[in-house]
Amino acid sequence: MLTIALGENTFQFFVYDPAVPGPLEGVRVIELGVWVAGPGAGGILADWGADVVKIEPRTGDPARQFGAMLGGDLPFNPPFELDNRGKRGIVVDLAVPAGHAIAMRLVDDADVFVTNVRPAALAPSVSTMSTSPRATRVSSTPRSPATARRARSATGPRTTSARSGPGRASPTC
């Protein structure tokens, strides 16, 4: 509690203490996300105390270019910084065997794997990251209920996904 006296008035404020553990303290999250949905989910998990590690390609998350795309010339990128707050990051080239091995090791040691990259857009070997026996996979990708059922049958019952796009959005888990 912080108390500030201004003249005859006294104000008390609750001060956020980042040393206080959140409800997800001790949960390790690996995020392979781009733009907003995947990184935003990872940011919320980090807010709740999870240890989030973001995997980015050598070219970086395309959201790093938001400012330039909108014609801005700010030295910072508020949308990207908001969605990627509280995370650690690593650059991994998933197209080479050594990079894939690094990513697999990270996911194998994780409790949660978050992605919003469509399975078809991932290299076939990268799609196997979601089958780690330990990690729960959370996916936010545009797909139909039929493809969500196929994804669950391929990755098991610990896959959670959400459908987006035209029509009524509904959970598919």
Task: Render pLDDT for 71-125 as a digit per residue (tens, 0 to 9).
Answer: 777 777 788 888 999 999 999 988 888 888 888 888 888 999 888 887 776 655 5
Of the listed ranges 2-6, 96-100, 116-120, 129-133, the least confidently predicted one is 129-133
Residue-level pLDDT at 97:
87
How many other C-beta atoms are found inside a 10 Å radius of the C-beta of residue 66?
19
How many alpha carbons lie under 13 Å from residue 173 in its C-beta half-sphere? 14
Instruction: Look up the pTM and report it.
Output: 0.67
Helix, strand, coil percentages in the chain from 3-state DSSP, rounded to 5: 35, 25, 45
Contact between residue 113 and residue 130 where contact means Cβ atoms under 8 Å apart: yes
Q: In the CATH scheme, what is the code of domain 27-162?
A: 3.40.50.10540
2 strand-pairing partners: 13
What does the longest C-alpha to C-alpha distance in the chain come to? 68
Q: Which residue has the higher pLDDT, 158 or 131?
A: 131
Mean predicted confidence (pLDDT) in 130-153: 58
Residue 159 has pLDDT above 50, yes or no: no
Mean pLDDT of 124-153: 58
Give pLDDT tens digits for 19-30. Answer: 667 899 999 999
Query: Which residues face 3 on adjacent strands?
Result: 12
**Residues of the chain above pLDDT 70, percent:** 61
Average pLDDT, the chain: 74
Q: Side-chain half-sphere of 168: how many Cα atoms within 13 Å?
A: 3
